[in-house]
Amino acid sequence: MMIPLNGWIKPKRVFDGTNLLTGQAVQLKDGYLVQISPVDEMPNTVSMVDLHGILTPGFVDLQVNGGGGVLLNNQPSHNAMCQILRAHRRHGTVAILPTVITDTREVLHAAVNAALEAKEEAGIIGLHIEGPHLSVTRRGTHAEEHIRPFDPETLGLVEKLRNSDIPVMVTVAPEIVGKTVICDLANLGAIVSIGHTNATVEEGRAALAQGARCFTHLFNAMPPMINRDPGVVAAAINSDAYAGIICDGHHVSDELIKMALRARPCPDRMFVISDAMPTISGPEQFKLYNTEVKIKDGRLINSQGNLAGAHITMSQSVKRLIDCIGISPVEALKMAISVPADVIQKPELGQLLNRRVEDLIILRDDYGFDKFASE
């Protein structure tokens, strides 16, 4: 439908970043959403365009490896980040944290420079450095030859980003990096996320006390919970830290996702990530570490038959959260929008007011996604 750049819209429901509202109208002015008002308080003379579905801000994804045929590790550049963002915007994601996984020092340096160049690019909100300071035994698809101890070089790169006020998330294995590293990173203002780790529950708790405040793709690349050896997963679930999770039906059992969501002691601490690869809006295969990865039965599989990232969008993840996990639309939208916005300390990304119409989407009655306005 044609959306006017100026005027009033009356959606069936409105997600304002916190609540799912009914009986509301929104005002657009010069391509921005500038006001939300109860319909029954509007003058009869005001003309409104009816809109079916839920009007909501677009999705915020804090773990995006690629899209549109581009893998950031293979092309660590400002232009590549923009291509990846465009690929995900086609599916309702309006803000991404480009993610560089374990690789050579040269690739990491290039990704940091790309994030610096992309600082003013709307929708590119920083950099997620996932590795290389991880557990070898829990490395997943990360290349073992590039995993290495923490060093001042990585700390310097994080400091470089933070000195330019660029958000940065750093995924580390706490049992690998040592006791002072997490404090050092947190003191720089980095979001320290625990992942690809073989840590015990005690080591997980210690990392949180040292300044870690997030967990990377909960359950994946972590030891399983056992009755007398609950491991880092238990530390995550029982904490008030944030935790990202993949909801594609392959990485984590739906039953475990349901359990984790019920078990968290604090609300609004779980968020959904895509962990997406170049196959989103791209070809069905790509190269990772010079090895082919391709889609098989909805899963991304490398030459060893192991999972290598995910082939799912945030819009598909939200639909699965509602249809398969059984949470309410408002909770699913918070997990995909306002909670990740809070994690990255950009609350404006989770709010509806003062947003460009290009950053708004519609969640249909079947919880599929439609664009609100053309770009």
Residue 2 counted as domain residue: no
Per-residue confidence band for 6, with pLDDT thresholds at 50, 70 and 90: confident
Determine the Cα–Cα distance for residues 182 and 191; give it in Å rounded to an integer.
10
φ, ψ of residue 17 in degrees (nearest 5)? 110, -20
Residue 349 counted as domain residue: no
Q: Which residues pair with 55 in a beta bridge?
A: 14, 362
| Mean pLDDT value across the chain | 96
Are 77 and 34 contained in the same domain?
no
Structure-token pair, residue 229: 């050896």
Q: Which helix (H) or strand (E) holds 191?
A: strand 191-194
φ, ψ of residue 107 in degrees (nearest 5)? -65, -45
Residue 210 counted as domain residue: yes
Are 243 and 284 contained in the same domain?
yes
Determine the Cα–Cα distance for residues 182 and 194; give it in Å rounded to an integer.
10
The neighbour count for residue 362, using CB atoms within 10 Å, is 21
Are 252 and 326 contained in the same domain?
yes
Residue 280 counted as domain residue: yes
Are 268 and 163 contained in the same domain?
yes
Residue 244 counted as domain residue: yes
Structure-token pair, residue 304: 């060893």
Are 304 and 173 contained in the same domain?
yes
Give the helix ranges, DSSP H, for the chain.
Answer: 78-89, 105-117, 152-163, 174-177, 181-187, 201-209, 231-237, 254-263, 314-320, 329-336, 338-343
Are 38 and 168 contained in the same domain?
no
Are 44 and 86 contained in the same domain?
no
* Structural domain of 14: 7-57+354-371
Give the largest CA-CA distance in the chain.
69
Determine the Cα–Cα distance for residues 361 and 369; give it in Å rounded to an integer.
7
Digit-coded pLDDT (tens) for 133-161: 999 999 999 999 999 999 999 999 999 99
The reported pLDDT for the residue numbered 306 is 87
Are 121 and 184 contained in the same domain?
yes
Give the amino acid at 21.
L
Residue 1 counted as domain residue: no
Determine the Cα–Cα distance for residues 280 and 63; give it in Å rounded to an integer.
13
Q: How many domains, in total, are found in the chain? A: 2
Per-residue confidence band for 375, with pLDDT thresholds at 50, 70 and 90: low
Are 292 and 306 contained in the same domain?
yes
Would strands 7-15 and 369-371 be described as parallel, antiparallel, or unpaired?
A: unpaired
- Sequence-distant (≥ 6) Cβ neighbours of residue 253 within 8 angstroms: none
Residue 254 known to be catalytic: no
Determine the Cα–Cα distance for residues 259 and 210; give it in Å rounded to an integer.
27
Residue 32 counted as domain residue: yes
Determine the Cα–Cα distance for residues 115 and 293; give it in Å rounded to an integer.
26
Rounded mean pLDDT, 6-27: 95
Structure-token pair, residue 360: 């708004």
Q: Which helix (H) or strand (E) holds 1?
A: none
The secondary structure of 210-241 as a DSSP string is TT--EESSTTTTSPPPBTTB-HHHHHHHTSSS
pLDDT of 361 higher than 90: yes
Residue 318 counted as domain residue: yes
Q: How many helices (H) and strands (E) does the chain have?
A: 11, 21
φ, ψ of residue 15 in degrees (nearest 5)? -100, 115
Alpha-carbon torsion, ordered 197, 203, 204, 206, to 10 deg:
-140
Digit-coded pLDDT (tens) for 178-234: 889 999 999 999 999 999 999 999 999 999 999 999 999 999 999 999 999 999 999
pLDDT of 36 higher than 90: yes
pLDDT of 2 higher than 80: no
Are 294 and 153 contained in the same domain?
yes
Per-residue confidence band for 244, with pLDDT thresholds at 50, 70 and 90: very high
Are 337 and 362 contained in the same domain?
no
Are 12 and 149 contained in the same domain?
no
Digit-coded pLDDT (tens) for 51-91: 999 999 999 999 999 999 999 999 999 999 999 999 999 99
Residue 170: closest CA among 188, 9, 180, 349: 188
Digit-coded pLDDT (tens) for 312-357: 999 999 999 999 999 999 999 999 999 999 999 999 999 999 999 9
Rounded mean pLDDT, 237-243: 98
Annotated catalytic residue, options 16, 103, 248, 275: 275
CATH at residue 27: 2.30.40.10
CATH at residue 124: 3.20.20.140
